[in-house]
Structure 1
Amino acid sequence: MLKAEDLCFRYHSKHPWILRNFSLEVAPGAVVGLSGLSGRGKTTIGKLLAGYLQPNQGKVTCNGQPLPSSNYCPVQLIFQNPELAVNPRWRISKVLAEGQTPSVDLLQALSIHQSWLSRYPHELSGGELQRIAVARSLNSSTRYLIADEMTAMLDANTQALIWQVVIKYAREQNVGILVISHEAALLQRLCNYTINVNPQIR
């Protein structure tokens, strides 16, 4: 499983701790929610679990092993703002090929049109670009997916489409998901159980 053990993190020794002794587990195929007030470290946890940040103390392991420092990471993080996660100078076809080029079936399920592939990120809407980010993350090497407010900025129809595809894919491929959100209704609808980050920070 994806496991965080006693994570402590702060950006500088003179800064206050963002996380103290935080632990979490996501089993293969499970959908786990992470809730909490704004500014309490939810996004930081996502970045630590995906290897974007390194903890000051504690460790993150994926199926018993440290996260790889090179090659494709089996833990993929989807950000709330997809434009921050893609190279603006690349065409969408190259963005998708950065991981593994998604199957035609996955592109169709996410309503991604072939005409988008020749465009640049700024030529797509936020909802269209988020579908690209999701498609890039869902491939055979991904074992865990971290969705950090993944659909918070999208309209209801696009939210429903993306979550339907992601949950179906995760069930078929036994992918574990951590859903980071402040929306209690979304977490209740999607998750097996939810962890509140606030009591674990002290």
Structure 2
Amino acid sequence: MTTPRTSPPPAAADSPSRGTAPLLSVRDVTRTFPGKRGRTAPVRAVDGVSFDVAAGETLGLVGESGCGKSTTGRMIVRLLEPTSGSITFDGRDISHLGQRELHPLRRHLQMVFQDPHASLNPRQTVARIIAEPLLAQGGSAVDARRRAADLMELVGLIPEHLDRYPHEFSGGQAQRIGIARALATGPRLVIADEPVSALDVSVQAQIVNLMARLQRELGLAYLFIAHDLSVVKRVCNRVAVMYLGRIVEIGPKERVYAAPAHPYTRALLSAVPLPDPVAERARERLTLLGDPPNPAAPPPGCTFHPRCPKAQDRCRTEAPVLSGAERSGAGHRVACHFPETV
């Protein structure tokens, strides 16, 4: 395996370009899963999520396991149907398009999955795996194989290994194959669902550097779904924090990391280890109370109030909405009645 060039991610953008329509626009999207045969209540996994992704930028979507991050990503690529709301890609509402209408758009909208080996068909060769999206779009077998060889080299693998099977590759190599497959049709937006969480730390750095290089060279936009805030800080321009199906804070990376306004965001960041042992011992660590509520029976008002150290009576009855946090800077919004202002 060849080692990809180490390079910094693209310069951060405070927000999608003003005056330019975003590449992806998600508005008030919800997804409710029905209960099991009447024995359990329906679960609203995603509850009114809204955000934009501009061409060429990376938006990080972070939060605890079960908060609805992956469900959001799967709705964007239409592996799941939204219950309500709209998803607009490149100016076209794709929320409820049929498969025939959606088919030509899929070449511009691809996904990289969390578990590289689980997402690759063990019965197919690497050549077939990478070429399959091109064949599905009507490409010839000869051109598809040639494109697969080029993509293997692009992601740092040896083209001569095209006829091997997924089990013959390490986890990092398998994820490179997954990235190559996502790039086969020349997409404009890639949904990366926990793309490095199943990999060793050293391999994570290689994949992160690879994705940053590909973004710069190919002009890709990413929705980067993760729970590791140190990785998100490395690759993303903006960050959206989810809790129990809702976005509770969104803004430029520099603002969210330097001055988080929501108590949940502050708690997440306090759990990220610092490389300086002295600073790590000296800093205050915020500990949340209890576990996340049952999404089938969310608490009234602000869903975070049972775990929030700042909760007051208003939080228990009135759900906050995303709004500009005082002194937070342009594009930084928080859903909290009593946000931090410094």
TM-score by length of structure 1 reads: 0.90
Aligned to 1:117: 162
Aligned to 1:10: 32
Choose which of 112, 122, 133 in structure 2 pairs with 1:78. Answer: 112
Q: Determine what percentage of the aligned residue pairs are the same residue.
A: 32
Q: Give the secondary structure class of the aligned counterpart of 1:17.
A: strand
Contact 2:127 2:148 in 1 (8 A): no
Aligned to 2:205: 160
Change (3 A) 1:60 1:135: same
Deviation at 1:6, TM superposition (A): 0.5
Between the aligned partners of 1:174 and 1:186, the Cα distance in structure 2 is: 20
Between the aligned partners of 1:155 and 1:108, the Cα distance in structure 2 is: 22
Change (3 A) 1:57 1:19: same
Deviates more, 1:71-80 or 1:35-44: 71-80
1:18-33 aligned at under 5 Å gives the runs 18-33=45-60
Between the aligned partners of 1:195 and 1:125, the Cα distance in structure 2 is: 31
Between the aligned partners of 1:132 and 1:54, the Cα distance in structure 2 is: 27
Within the alignment, does 1:98 sit opposite 2:125 as a pair?
no
Deviation at 1:95, TM superposition (A): 0.3
Change (3 A) 1:133 1:72: farther
Deviation at 1:108, TM superposition (A): 2.6
Contact 1:8 1:18 in 2 (8 A): yes
Deviation at 1:49, TM superposition (A): 1.1
Deviation at 1:41, TM superposition (A): 0.5
Deviation at 1:88, TM superposition (A): 2.2
Between the aligned partners of 1:16 and 1:104, the Cα distance in structure 2 is: 44
Within the alignment, does 1:200 sit opposite 2:234 as a pair?
no
Between the aligned partners of 1:98 and 1:20, the Cα distance in structure 2 is: 34
Amino acid in structure 2 at the alignment position of 1:97 = A
Between the aligned partners of 1:173 and 1:108, the Cα distance in structure 2 is: 15
Within the alignment, does 1:89 sit opposite 2:89 as a pair?
no
Amino acid in structure 2 at the alignment position of 1:90 = Q
Amino acid in structure 1 at the alignment position of 2:102 = S
- Aligned residue pairs, count: 202
Deviation at 1:80, TM superposition (A): 0.7
Aligned to 1:69: 102
Between the aligned partners of 2:49 and 2:130, the Cα distance in structure 1 is: 33
Contact 1:110 1:161 in 2 (8 A): no
Deviation at 1:107, TM superposition (A): 2.3
Q: Which blocks of at least 5 consecutive residues in structure 2 are unaligned?
A: 1-22, 36-40, 95-100, 135-143, 249-302, 304-342
Amino acid in structure 1 at the alignment position of 2:33 = Y
Between the aligned partners of 1:121 and 1:173, the Cα distance in structure 2 is: 26
Deviation at 1:182, TM superposition (A): 0.9
Q: Give the secondary structure class of the aligned counterpart of 2:44.
A: coil
Between the aligned partners of 2:153 and 2:92, the Cα distance in structure 1 is: 34
Contact 1:110 1:162 in 2 (8 A): no
Contact 1:72 1:141 in 2 (8 A): no
Higher relative contact order by CA 8 Å / sep ≥ 6: 1 or 2? 1
Contact 1:88 1:120 in 2 (8 A): yes
Structure with the greater alpha carbon radius of gyration: 2
TM-score by length of structure 2 reads: 0.55
Choose which of 66, 79, 83 in structure 2 pairs with 1:39. Answer: 66
Deviation at 1:159, TM superposition (A): 2.0
Choose which of 135, 140, 149 in structure 1 pairs with 2:180. Answer: 135
Q: Which blocks of at least 5 consecutive residues in structure 1 are unaligned?
A: none
Change (3 A) 1:61 1:81: same
